[in-house]
Structures are given as structure tokens and as C-alpha cells.
Amino acid sequence: MGKATDELNPPPRLLMGPGPVEADPRVLRAMSMPLLGQFDPVLTGYMNDVMALYREVLRTGNRWTFLVDGTARAAIEAAMVSILAPGDRVLVPVFGRFGHLLCEIARRCEAEVRVIEAEWGRVFEPERVIAALREHRPALVALVHGDTSTTMAQPLAEIGAACREHDALLYVDATATVGGMDVRVDDWCVDVLSTGLQKCLSGPPGSAPITFNERVEERVLARKHIEQGILPDGFRAAQGPVIRSNYFDLAMLMDYWSEARLNHHTEATSMLYAARECARVLLAEGLEAAHERHRRASRALGAGLRAMGLEIFGDPAHKMPNVTGVLIPDGVNGDAVRAKMLDDFGIEIGTSFGPLAGRIWRIGTMGYVCRKRSVLLCLMALETVLRAQGFRAPPGEAVDAALQAWVEG
């Protein structure tokens, strides 16, 4: 350990946990560009670029597609607090830790929260969510797309259409899936969706893209109040209940990101640069190509793990391609393995939460890290560490199997 006054010199790591993962060097370079004033036309031009780029990334025509400053949950909170007034009913289908997070945020908005739960490692049959929608008649359904805690991805298309039919808004947390698997805001009738940079978008944590349509806009504008010190002449506050957060007030953020350029917060300039570069990197590769790269890495990693004699966690039909849960074998100390992976190989893998804490490791193949080399290095390191723990992994077979699966893929 150095002194607090030493220059920063973080050790090189291969980040193969469930996020954050390594940022693309292009993104880090973009973050080191000179700062601009927040109403400099060049900066507002970059803001407009970001809006256009994320419409493409999220496959939406939504005008309101911008960044909330903060980690992914900043945009979750912005969506919830701006939509939900006290007493509004929200339905949350929970299949992992981040579904519980949606409940918790909704409760803080004093919404009436109705919960249905699926066993961790499974997802919901759409019919079950649709039946709950009929029963509870919520104003909002809040759902995680890919829950990194369980590695499962919930199919959304039928649920979105049913929400429309039952006049409920649909919020989707796609923090862990955008860039790694197909996310179609408009085709799936998602009303509001948010994500973060630190997973398959290959950026650092600290900026949360959000998109929402006119249905959400209407609801938010019905609650629009503007803070006293920046009130434009002639503005009349809406009749609806005031949004209980200033920072996460989507109505004010809309004015900040539109031609009105309301002086709300100070845009996090370097994070805006990062978000812009993340989208450019992804779109240059192509969404389909990026998704295929994640699927291929998932197949190769899975083949290697199985060749080692390990078992993959959860329903294979709904496994996210960018994170893999591995059951920790009996007699193996999961934390000791993770510590050895880090100390000896500089590779970080994750554990999980709640019912899965200590039961599974989670290995991320996300964004910039989702490459053949990462998969092979991780398998080689895990095999070595496991053998030292007394687990009988057949030497070399994991890497061979992964290489073969990579080629076949």
C-alpha cells in the first residue's frame, strides 16, 4: 500500500465480474478531452449527438433520450420519482436483486407496490405477468430486463404489448443488457427504459442513459414545477403533485436537454464525452455484431466451464449472454478462489447476493472485456486455482473446449 499522497497507479486487472468491467481505451481517451462550458454551443452540440446516438442504440424514435448524471440507479430513480406520485400502484415482477431494488425505490416514492416473485435462476412466463396486470391494474409495471444477480434475462415483447392494452406504463431496467443483447424500446412497447455505461457499453460507471415516450412525457408534464430561482417568465406550474426530487425531475431535465436549455444541474462533461464515445464504439461495430460477440463468448465460456467439470447456474433458455453463473462445487471455498484469481492472475470475478451468496460465482463477458482472450485467460486461471484447492479439473480441457466452441460459433 502506498501513501495517500502518491500518484494514482491502479494495478492492471481483467475485470470479469458482473460490472463494472474495463472501459474501452477510446472511452477513457474521450474522458480526458478538455472541458467546455455547459452552454458552449459545441457542448450543447455534443448533448444533441448523445440524444441521437442513444436513439439508435436503444432502437427508439423517442425524442426524450438523454443522460441522467449518476450511476445506473440514478436513471431508475429519475423514472420512478417522476412517474410515481404517492398512492400510485406499481407492479414489480421480481426475479433477482434488482427487482427488489425497483420495489425499494417505488416504496420511497410512497407508491403502492404489488410484487410477484419468480425463483432466482428463472424468469416469468409472460402470462403470469399479464394475469397480475389484470388483477392489480397498476399505473406502472417496473421490470428488470437482465438481472445480473441471477444472470437471467426476462423476455419483454409480450409484456409490453399487454401493458399497452391495460393502460399501464412499462418501465424497464436494461442496465446490464444494452450492447450485450437485443433491446428494442419501440418494438417491445416499452414506455421508459434506462441503462448504465459500465457493463456492455464499455464505459465507466457514472452516467445513465434514459429514454421515454409521449405517454410518460404527458404524465411527467402534468406534475411540472420549476425551481424558483430559474422560473421562466409566464411559467405556470402544473396541477399534479410536485415531483419529489429536484435532481431527478424528468420535467426539468427535459427543459435542460431541449432548446429551452434550462439551467438545471451542471452537466457532467467528462461523463457526457464518455457516453458519446461508448455509443460511437458500439454503433461502429454494429448492434447485431456486438450481440453475436456476446453470445459467442458465452458459449465458449460455458463449454470451458463444463469441460472443467463445473455446472452453469439457472435456466439455460433465459441466460444472459454477458454474464454466467457457475455453481461453486462442494468443498471449494468460493471467496478464496476469487481472492487467488485476483492475487495471482489479476482477474476479478464476482459472487452473488441473497439466496445465491456463496453459492455461485458470476463471470462477466461484457463490452470491451467480451473477447476470446479474456475467456481463455479466465478459464486457465480458474482451472489452476481450483486444482490448488483440491478440485479435480482435467488439465487443459477447459481452454481446448472454449477454443473449439469459439471457432464453431
Ligand X SMILES: Cc1ncc(COP(=O)(O)O)c(C=O)c1O
C-alpha cell at 384: 489452476
Counting residues that bind ligand X (by CB under 6 A) gives 13
Contact 398, 380 (CB under 8 A): yes
Site stretch for ligand X (CB under 6 A), options 65-73, 127-135, 221-229, 299-307: 65-73
Site membership for ligand X, residue 144 (CB under 6 A): yes
Give, as ranges, the residues between 372 and 401 that touch ligand X (CB under 6 A): none
Calculate helix-pair angle for 287-307, 269-285, nearest 10 degrees. Answer: 80
Site membership for ligand X, residue 224 (CB under 6 A): no
Site stretch for ligand X (CB under 6 A), options 8-16, 140-148, 211-219, 361-369: 140-148
Give the chain's radius of gyration (CA, Å).
Answer: 22
**Residue 85 or 144 having the CB closest to ligand X:** 144
Q: In the complex, what is the shortest distance from the CB of residue 41 to ligand X, in angstroms, rounded to a whole number?
A: 31
The DSSP element (H or E) to which 277 belongs, if any, is helix 269-285
Site for ligand X (CB under 6 A): which residue of 147, 249, 255, 267?
Answer: 147
Q: What is the DSSP string of 135-170?
A: HH--SEEEEESEETTTTEE---HHHHHHHHHTT-EE
C-alpha cell at 248: 431527478
**Residue 176 or 381 having the CB closest to ligand X:** 176
Site membership for ligand X, residue 334 (CB under 6 A): no
* Cα gap 14→211, rounded to integer Å: 31
Site membership for ligand X, residue 150 (CB under 6 A): no
Site membership for ligand X, residue 19 (CB under 6 A): yes
Contact 149, 100 (CB under 8 A): no
> What x/- string results for residues 66 through 95 when contact with ligand X is judged by CB under 6 A?
-----xxx----------------------
Judged by DSSP in three states, 71 sits in: coil
Give, as ranges, the residues between 165 and 194 that touch ligand X (CB under 6 A): 173, 175-176
The DSSP element (H or E) to which 194 belongs, if any, is strand 192-194
C-alpha cell at 236: 405556470
C-alpha cell at 31: 474522458
**Residue 98 or 257 having the CB closest to ligand X:** 98
**Cα angle, residue 106 at apex, residues 104 and 112 outer, rounded to 5°:** 110
Q: In the complex, what is the shortest distance from the CB of residue 231 to ligand X, in angstroms, rounded to a whole number?
A: 32
**Residue 171 or 391 having the CB closest to ligand X:** 171
Contact 370, 200 (CB under 8 A): yes
**Residue 141 or 307 having the CB closest to ligand X:** 141
> What x/- string results for residues 196 through 215 when contact with ligand X is judged by CB under 6 A?
x--------x----------
Contacts to ligand X by CB under 6 A: 19, 71-73, 98, 144, 147-148, 173, 175-176, 196, 205
